[in-house]
Chain A
């Protein structure tokens, strides 16, 4: 019979037992009231259990949840395709909820993807979805292949479909909002098996793969498009289809494949709304090596093939900008000894941005780690083999993502990669440099402690700033800054690369990148000012600065430059907007402190400020600023050239 155990949430700590399970909340009509607890209740579920939970959650009215919990991040997701796709709604709802995102799922009509995407006046576009999942199944092709058929018939249908899909992608981009997801189309065995000669089967297999490869390459030319490759999902042993569901209900993809598809969409949704995980905090004993360092000593721990493979994957993530940190209950000296000298270790201290080894509770260490890196705890993914430590962290810091490892190190890699915790749309040059920049930040801090005053420190820091229009190659990085930056983000608005590219083309818009460097090195492209000219004024639409570099005068210098540019080019004022988000409270006074005055009462769109350009605040004395705007041809000073050269090298 039906047992509620499958959707009972984890209760790792006796104190957490006061949270009722999901089914109880559903029965008692309290799911909306307790919606913030749902994420924790889903944390350890997968597969069928998660889909069960998703069916209950999909019944909730998103507006009711938002009325009770207005800060819940929300994403409108449209699902369209060729076959019956209702089976995707529950896993999709559950996966987004697992990542803390409330999904408004809009399911398109059966086989309506062509009119939905081709017609700018369609109900799909009217709903302004943030994410459109156009789910392609094998019958997209096979429904149009004649019987009997030869591989050449399939090739012709594919060619027509690829042309159609590309035109739909163009239509979608023309509509100017959101991200479109297509997927590669799997080839179930029942089709090649209908060909009795191996030569024809090979030809079918080759043309099918070539067509999927062309589909994948569409993403290279269309910034609003993501093409998801389903082959790696099927490689894990999932069936492509369920014959009865396909024949009788036109549901052409298996429930398992739809679950796996939804799992891939969760991290993409996080990336779209700027909820990006940045730090991977690693336990050591049982996680990076086997045994207990404190008991077994450096020579007694096991750094066998399973652990080494895991460490290789950690280095691979670190090389792409994930900040790796050790958080361990150990004395620090033996830990440093292993990281430096153990002959079998792959991961070294230089791969880690911080090594925290002490006897404090781990949730406290994670809080300190976040504060030290100037990031929120919600940017941390914590990995540990100990159920006790995981339970404690989950209970004390529910915004930390917790990954469970077991006693078999050969499974560590799969456990870590099961969710794309660190997935981003595009990697930029900055990403590879990030860990080194965070390590340099620790050196900066030590340097700061050697000064009596902040002014003395800043003077010796030698801050150089270059403010100039973003070049084409920097557009992905500017988009990434809007997506990753939470604290120094005056409006919280996120822009996808396609939106930044459109702004950069607009002659009335200013898309300015902020680059900074100091005696400890190059901070790279670290911020942006987005503005436009209208009605004789410059309007600052957003002002962003990486948390690594603010409070060093860089923001005041750039704002001063924008004000001066406005005055020099005949503007009569600069208008700027601040919209409060859960994380940007510390910049609430940024504009008023620089001579702006409020012009409107607070509204949903935020506070609007105006600067009359009569008295422009000076660039802080310790900052060497070079500001260039479109059309300026002033020579770039030697210092600035160095900043730029470092940037290009990075």
Chain B
């Protein structure tokens, strides 16, 4: 995963939400079709994609896709 755009692609293709890279900074609740349940699925997918363990509490506290991306790519130094 090289940029937050890759995370947006994952959300589009795996969760099915019709979002664009411009939405990465929006509060999650404002994303069309967002549900907190998606966060759990996203955690599992991100760990698969990055082959790293991600801090679940940190992802659960993230408020935007950008913040989730930063948790995910920062996982290596946790």
Contact = CB atoms under 8 A, between A and B. Distances in A.
Contacts of B38: 86
B16 A84 contact: no
Contacts of A511: none
Given A55-B15, A59-B17, A248-B56, A1 B40 contact: no
A23 B9 CA distance: 12
B35 interface: yes
Contacts of B14: 2, 52, 55
Nearest to B60: A248
B60 A1 contact: no
A249 B40 CA distance: 8
Contacts of A87: 37, 40-41
B47 to A, nearest CB: 10
Interface in A219-234: none
A332 interface: no
Given A90-B41, A244-B56, A248-B60, A1 B49 contact: yes
A245 B14 CA distance: 19
A248 B16 CA distance: 24
B26 interface: no
A23 B14 CA distance: 9
Nearest to B57: A248
Dominant secondary structure of chain A at its interface with chain B: helix
Interface in A8-60: 23, 26-27, 52, 55-56, 58-59
A1 B50 CA distance: 9
A34 to B, nearest CB: 15
Most chain-A CB neighbours within 10 Å: which of B14, B15, B17, B36?
B14
Contacts of A56: 16
Contacts of A249: 39-40, 56, 60
Interface in B3-33: 6, 9-10, 13-17, 33
B54 to A, nearest CB: 10
Contact of A251 (B17, B35, B40, B49): B40
A2 B41 contact: no
B40 A86 contact: yes
Interface residues of B, number: 22
Given A1-B6, A55-B16, A255 B56 contact: no
A59 B16 contact: yes
A90 B10 CA distance: 16
Contacts of A107: 37
B71 to A, nearest CB: 13
A244 B53 CA distance: 11
Contacts of A58: 16
A255 B44 contact: yes
Nearest to B58: A248
Interface in A477-535: none
A343 to B, nearest CB: 52
A244 B9 CA distance: 26
A185 to B, nearest CB: 21
A86 B10 contact: no
Nearest to A31: B16
Nearest to B40: A249
A248 B40 CA distance: 10
Contacts of B36: 86
A251 B57 CA distance: 13
Interface centre among B13, B38, B60 (most CB of A within 10 A): B13
Nearest to B59: A248
Nearest to A244: B56
A53 B77 CA distance: 33
Contacts of A245: 40, 56
Given A23-B13, A59-B33, A86-B35, 9 more contacts: A2-B10, A2-B14, A4-B13, A59-B16, A84-B40, A86-B40, A89-B37, A90-B41, A245-B40
18 contacts: A1-B49, A2-B6, A4-B13, A26-B13, A26-B16, A55-B16, A59-B15, A59-B33, A84-B37, A86-B35, A86-B37, A87-B40, A90-B41, A107-B37, A245-B56, A248-B57, A248-B60, A249-B56
Nearest 8 CB-CB pairings of A with B = A86-B37, A59-B16, A56-B16, A248-B56, A244-B56, A2-B13, A249-B40, A248-B57
